[in-house]
A and B are shown apart, each in its own frame.
Chain A
Amino acid sequence: SQQGEEDPQALSIQEGENATMNCSYKTSINNLQWYRQNSGRGLVHLILIRSNEREKHSGRLRVTLDTSKKSSSLLITASRAADTASYFCATYSNYGGATNKLIFGTGTLLAVQP
């Protein structure tokens, strides 16, 4: 079963606009990760935010984490056509465990129109 659920399922914006995607999860976590997937290809790790962090930045990406609400958001600022992709949040299945079994959400499909 999916641990995380992304919202919205699909998002279409114009180049230069900001894109915000949300993720909710169900269990306690050490950290939460965001990945990007271009059509039909592998996933690329974007950013990892630890459970004791509330906000993290990486270039045009800003991630927030609210552990009390079990939710996270990914903001992409000044979007570009190349940002068109599916975005997934992921958490580990067992808190503090020795495996790295990631549980992925259903993804948000972002389309950036030139």
Chain B
Amino acid sequence: DAGVTQSPTHLIKTRGQQVTLRCSPISGHKSVSWYQQVLGQGPQFIFQYYEKEERGRGNFPDRFSARQFPNYSSELNVNALLLGDSALYLCASSLASGNNSPLHFGNGTRLTVT
């Protein structure tokens, strides 16, 4: 079975631009979460969607938004990019929402903002 897939793998953008990152969960998984990982740190939670509804939002500005589609795939959008948005963006899926569901991560999208 295919794991969590993310696209693109790498992306270079200029300050002020907008970016859309995509994620396809493992087949049958209804929950998708997004994490930002800055070099040398652990991943930081951005959003979680379950059954197309937002279930959680981390401490990120309104420039960050996301959505989940009927097929459970998801997009993360970041507007007005800043240099500090340069990071590895990780998508994770799980069967269900809640405290007993291990997350399955994709390999991430490496975003560089110049």
Binding site for B on A (CB under 8 A): 2, 4, 30-31, 33, 35, 40-45, 48, 88, 90, 92-107
Contact = CB atoms under 8 A, between A and B. Distances in A.
B28 interface: no
Interface of B: 4, 31, 33, 35, 41-45, 48, 55-56, 58, 88, 90, 92, 94, 97-108, 110
A42 B106 contact: yes
6 contacts: A33-B102, A42-B90, A43-B105, A44-B105, A100-B97, A100-B99
A101 B33 contact: yes
A100 B42 contact: no
A100 B93 CA distance: 10
A83 B108 CA distance: 20
B42 A106 contact: yes
A99 B103 contact: no
A99 B4 contact: no
Given A98-B55, A100-B94, A103-B45, A45 B107 contact: no
Nearest to B90: A42
B41 A106 contact: yes
A94 B99 CA distance: 8
Nearest to A104: B42
A98 B101 CA distance: 10
Contacts of B33: 100-102
Contact of B42 (A2, A40, A93, A101): A2
B95 to A, nearest CB: 10
Nearest to A86: B42
Contacts of B48: 99-101
Given A42-B90, A104-B42, A97 B99 contact: yes
A102 B98 contact: no
Given A100-B31, A100-B94, A41 B101 contact: no
Contacts of B97: 98-100
Given A41-B107, A107-B42, A92 B99 contact: yes
A102 B103 contact: yes
Contacts of B44: 104
